[in-house]
Amino acid sequence: MEYRWKILTIAWFVNLSIWTGDIVMAVLGKPISQEFGIDKIYFSFLLSLPILMMVILGIPVGIIVAKIGPKKTALIGLSISFIAAILRSLSIGILDLTIYTALYGIGMAIVFPNLPKIAESSFPKEQQGLAAGIYMSGLPSGAILGLVAGSFLIHSISWREILQIYSLFLPIGAVLWLITAKDLKEGTVNMLRGLKKVAKNKFLWKVSVANLTLLITYFGATQYFPSQKQLIEYLGPLAPVLVATISVALILGLLILPKISQKFGEKRSLVLYQVIVAVLLPIFANLVLLRNPLVWLISLILGFLIGGIIPLYFAFLSYVGVERKYFGIASGIFVSVLNIGGFIAPIISEIMDSFAGMWGVAILFSISSIVGALISLLFHD
């Protein structure tokens, strides 16, 4: 197997490992809240805390990636997240749990900017959309493993044991990364000069802000709607299956649509997918409220299209015109900005829910998708 496909496979597994350990917390809310006396708002903060770490540390980590390379940086991040995962499972109070959750997020922040760097360094431009789709499919795969499998495990073992089981993926990913990844020699890197040059790249900021809107919409389709009381009451034990359905469709979109989008036009595809998603989100919410079985079909289409949007943004990231040796910094800015969307999405959805309910939140996510489409119109072809 060629190195680029080998490292891409490992990057996919690393992505799955790091996100599974984060996402599984969403199904552990009840036992953790009961044990530590945590209310819903504080637990929502805990779920957002790793994303906040990625917002804060994305740019500094990008600079480190440019300086010491993705191989060493990712190993450091995986090690931190593994230690944090074990410590989090041994927490004896709210403060412990909060600190170790933040530490896990620090590890995530150190790992994630390395993956776009590896794909950009290893693949020609015409294959970078496919490469991005493959390694980003680790995220929905992690969602299936974390949310669906975790929701079944919680009935037979403790939340602490679940966290310990999922933590084992991290050292496996670290060993595979260690024996596979190579650091390309890219010459002397002046961090301050590189940061100044990259920060002036207007196209990078457009792509990053547009992806921020996508992450808000992604949260709605993959976490907010599937966890809604009305949907759970309607579907009962089939609710976790809907989560899996959305995630599987998202993976198919990640793998199938990049090639189609390249033929149709990446910019045109990006705008079209986001407009369709914006139309479908309120329909999905309305079908849930009406208890209409068409919700299964709409969830498949939503997942598939969002899966097609994600790699397109990563593909456009490779078109920003940044020198290869400074691409880690560009990736850090990209990751930091996009995760602002992941951090604020749970907060604004809770606020909107209290005022307008599920359908109102759907409109909010729909508007976010429209904003992303409008910004995408500013991209150069």
DSSP single-letter state for residue 319: T
C-beta atoms surrounding 227 within 10 Å: 15
Identify the band that residue 168 occupies on the pLDDT scale cut at 50, 70 and 90: very high
Per-residue pLDDT for 117 more than 70?
A: no
> pLDDT (tens digit, 9 = 90+) per residue, 42-95?
887 888 899 889 888 887 877 777 677 778 888 999 999 999 999 999 999 999
Cα-based angle 219, 43, 290 (whole degrees, multiple of 5): 50
> What is the rounded distance in angstroms from the CA atom of residue 372 to the CA atom of residue 208?
10
Nearest-CA neighbor of 266 among 116, 72, 128? 128
> What is the rounded distance in angstroms from the CA atom of residue 306 to the CA atom of residue 251?
9
Identify the band that residue 190 occupies on the pLDDT scale cut at 50, 70 and 90: low
Quickly list DSSP for 6-73.
HHHHHHHHHHHHHHHHHHGGGGSHHHHHHHHT--HHHHHHHHHHHHHHHHHHHHHHHHHHHHH-HHHH
Q: Report, as an integer, the average pLDDT of 260-269.
A: 87
Tokens of 165: 């089981």
Q: Can you give the pLDDT at residue 118? A: 66
Q: Can you give the pLDDT at residue 116? A: 63
Per-residue pLDDT for 380 more than 90?
A: no
What the chain holds in terms of domains, given with CATH numbers, is 3-376 (1.20.1250.20)
Q: Can you give the pLDDT at residue 186? A: 57
Q: Does residue 135 contact residue 5 with C-beta atoms inside 8 Å?
A: no
The lowest-confidence range among 150-159, 244-253, 309-318 is 309-318
